[in-house]
Chain A
Amino acid sequence: MILAALLAATWQPAAADDLAPLPLVLPPPAMKGTPQVLPTNTTALPLTSDPRPPFLAPKGVVNVALGKPVTASDTNLINGDLKLITDGKKEAYEENVVTLRRGLRWVQIDLQAEYKLYAIVIWHDFNIPLVYRDVIVQLSNDPEFKTGVQTIFNNDQKNTAGLGIGTDREYFENSLTGAGKLIAAKGIPSRYIRCYSKGSTDSALNSYIEVEAYGLPGQ
């Protein structure tokens, strides 16, 4: 709580002139037209092909996760390599997908330095419109995520992951736009990013294509 207050106090919102749309390059859509069948047992807003409004971040932010090392709770991957998560390839092709086993799993990116993070963008496998369960995104400077943990997104409303009740909604992996899930990080200084999930409406497995983190050097 104290840490959260300190962080909130240290984070000064940038002036409007210093902001610019995130330099985000989207992969091509994985499918066109209206999907015939969509999952219904979800809190996600309806799937739309409308573009996401531009997200404003301080000028100069870049994807600081590109090429950075990735670890995971699961060392026995179903397919792919963890390196794929930060390799910059975001197309919904099979060769870009890393799949972790069933159950609650996490992947963790070491930015190798502290950055002020403004947005995290996650692409699970978006080949078809599906909803990943219990998506939780945390930031920390502790590689063990035992201290100084900031949860910036949590849609685990039933607290099945045991990390606290999430108040965010689920969301569709948008195969119509390839937009990924953009999560505001509010300039929180962090070195490590950890992303949880627990299967999806399509499968009990956990698949990732890419994670990007837009930020500025922390010091």
Chain B
Amino acid sequence: MNRWLLAGMVLLLGVGLGLRAPALRLRPMHNDEGVNAMNFRRLYVTNDYKYNPDEFHGPTLPYLTLPDVWLQGGGDFNEFTEATYRSVTVAFGLGLILLLLLLAADFGRAQTLWAAALTALSPAMVFYSRYYIHEMLLVFFTAWTFICCWRCANSGRAAWAVAGGIGLGLMYATKETFVLALAAMVLAAGTSALWRRWRDGGAPGFQPRWNWRQVFAALTAAAVTAAVFFSSFFTNSAGPLDALRTYLPWLRRASGATTHVHPWNFYFERLLFFHVRGGPIWSEGFIVALALAGFIGAVRGRLLLLRLIAFYTFWLTLIYTVLPYKTPWCLLGFYHGMILLAGAGAVLLWRACRPAWLKTAAALALAAGVAHLAWQSYRSNFAADSSGVPYFDSAKNPYVYSQTLPDALRLVFTVEALAHVSAQGYGTVMEVMTPESYWPLPWYLRRFTNVGYWDNIPHPPPVPIGSVPIMIVSTELHAAFDEGPDKTHLMAGYFALRPQVFLELYVQTNLWAAYVKTLPPEKD
């Protein structure tokens, strides 16, 4: 392997790590992250994790969290922090950079380094590498599968076919939307063949060296891998069937039976020009522009690998644009294709600039684009606006979506302090009542052993309301538990769980009195 390529990749891995790994606990857990962490609890603590076809996506995330936790020394689930979980996706985000080494021989060294740099610096890639959800794993396994298939077709070696099959199985076992990436790959292969026939006529082209035995081996590897994960390592016989059944609920969601319906330009707004009043302008237009150059170069040129990437990206972008179900992290799939194209586009642009002055201008433009990406990545994860609100928790950030607010942590600290003075400690009874999603509270309240979760005020309550020491209630329910004639509770404060989702904390007056005694005296 070329030592400059290796040195460049090591440097870029360092850059990627520098943006991804620090201060992983800064951002409060998103509700999906809370769900995923508690799913991991079922695997790690109670050992009863089973794939759920209706919710929560595939089993790779909890299972691949296990080695990460073991590497960190294992220990008590309750002591795991946000960083414990997010280091899993950080690893896959870095792995996505490393994977490019497998493409370098056919993609080109300079193109590979550019693609690695843009992956390392892209604000979207950085932000969601620090996010304990399935998306980064899916993008990694998709890239792995694509690369292995390409190398198998190139070399004819069965090992690549099996590796590609394992990748496909892992894609399947990661997230239901893998079918979209798979469809885009198939469409890309077909479109590429048609394009070659139309554009290149009868000119001899690439002759893939795979055979049907390799296809069989790949599909077997995919099926076995998926079955291993979906069956929870052969302990849940219903898992593999559930892996097929899952497409009924997810098809309903994809067609719009969900709250996550957004217009067609949802992803483009975030990638090209995102501006909320009072916030900065965000744009990864630099990458998209280079990707466009790469796309043009791909369809006009003869490099099949680049053409496959171009058509794959085109189809996947189209699919995600057309689907009404949209969450911002879903853009990672097609955006990774854009980043690869942008790597090729940067080199094309550089080579197209012949005169020295034009090359200088191109170098300056590329350097400015890279610096802008790096600055935005830093800002979106570590900086705050002029009023002190961190961008990782602000609607001014294009990648923040239904994010838990820091105020929720204030609630958790208060409840923890109440448990500290309660005779029952973490066994103190607590009821959480909210028609909105209460996640990620179950993860934050994981040490409590007697917590009930309700989507309304239960009638009749399982225990008399007056005897429940702590109640966390949505303001939408107008509970007014502090207005009873016997004044059993006081309302200790409002806490914003997410934007426009407010919770009231009701505390039994005697428990509150014990808590108040622990407070430091207030200064005038």
Contacts and interface: CB of A to CB of B under 8 A. Distances in A.
Interface of A: 40, 42-43, 102-104, 157-160, 165-169, 204
A42 B519 CA distance: 18
Nearest to A159: B516
Contacts of B496: 40
B512 A43 contact: no
Interface string B482-519: 10000101111110100000000000010011001001
B55 interface: no
B491 A43 contact: yes
B79 interface: no
Contacts of A103: 524
B522 interface: yes
A43 B492 contact: yes
A167 B490 contact: yes
Nearest to A167: B490
Given A165-B513, A169-B482, A157 B490 contact: yes
B315 to A, nearest CB: 47
B492 A40 contact: no
Contact of B516 (A40, A42, A157): A157
B489 to A, nearest CB: 8
The binding surface of chain A is classed by DSSP as loop
Contact of A167 (B487, B494, B519): B487
B494 A165 contact: no
Given A165-B513, A165-B516, A167-B487, A157 B492 contact: yes
A86 B496 CA distance: 40
B524 A165 contact: no
Contacts of B522: 158, 160
B491 A169 contact: yes
Interface of B: 482, 487, 489-494, 496, 509, 512-513, 516, 519, 521-522, 524
A167 B484 CA distance: 11
Nearest to B493: A43
Contact of B494 (A43, A157, A158, A160): A43
Contacts of B492: 43, 157
Given A43-B491, A43-B494, A158-B519, A167 B524 contact: no
A149 B493 CA distance: 28
A78 to B, nearest CB: 15
A114 B524 CA distance: 35
B509 A167 contact: yes
A195 to B, nearest CB: 19
Nearest to A41: B493
A42 B494 contact: yes
Given A43-B492, A167-B509, 4 more contacts: A40-B496, A42-B494, A102-B524, A167-B490
A47 to B, nearest CB: 13
CB-based closest 8 A-B pairs? A167-B490, A103-B524, A160-B522, A167-B487, A165-B513, A43-B491, A158-B516, A159-B516
Contacts of A102: 524
A158 B489 CA distance: 14
- In this complex, the member of B490, B513, B516 whose beta carbon has the largest number of chain A beta carbons within 10 angstroms is B490
Contacts of A43: 491-494
A42 B475 CA distance: 14
A167 B512 CA distance: 10
Contacts of A166: 490
A184 B57 CA distance: 55
Contacts of A104: 524
Contacts of B489: 167
B407 to A, nearest CB: 9
A168 to B, nearest CB: 8
A213 B512 CA distance: 31
A200 to B, nearest CB: 14
Contacts of B490: 157, 165-169
Contacts of B521: 160
A165 B490 CA distance: 10
Contacts of A204: 524
Contacts of B519: 158
Contacts of A165: 490, 509, 512-513, 516
A157 B414 CA distance: 14
A36 B487 CA distance: 34
Nearest to A160: B522
B418 to A, nearest CB: 13
Nearest to A103: B524
A32 B512 CA distance: 38
Contacts of A159: 513, 516
A159 B519 CA distance: 10
Contacts of B524: 102-104, 204
A165 B491 CA distance: 12
A104 B524 CA distance: 8
A38 B493 CA distance: 15
7 contacts: A43-B491, A43-B494, A158-B516, A165-B516, A167-B482, A167-B509, A168-B490
Contacts of B513: 159, 165
Nearest to A158: B516
Nearest to A44: B494
Centre residue among B491, B512, B519 by max chain A CB count within 10 A: B491
A76 to B, nearest CB: 15
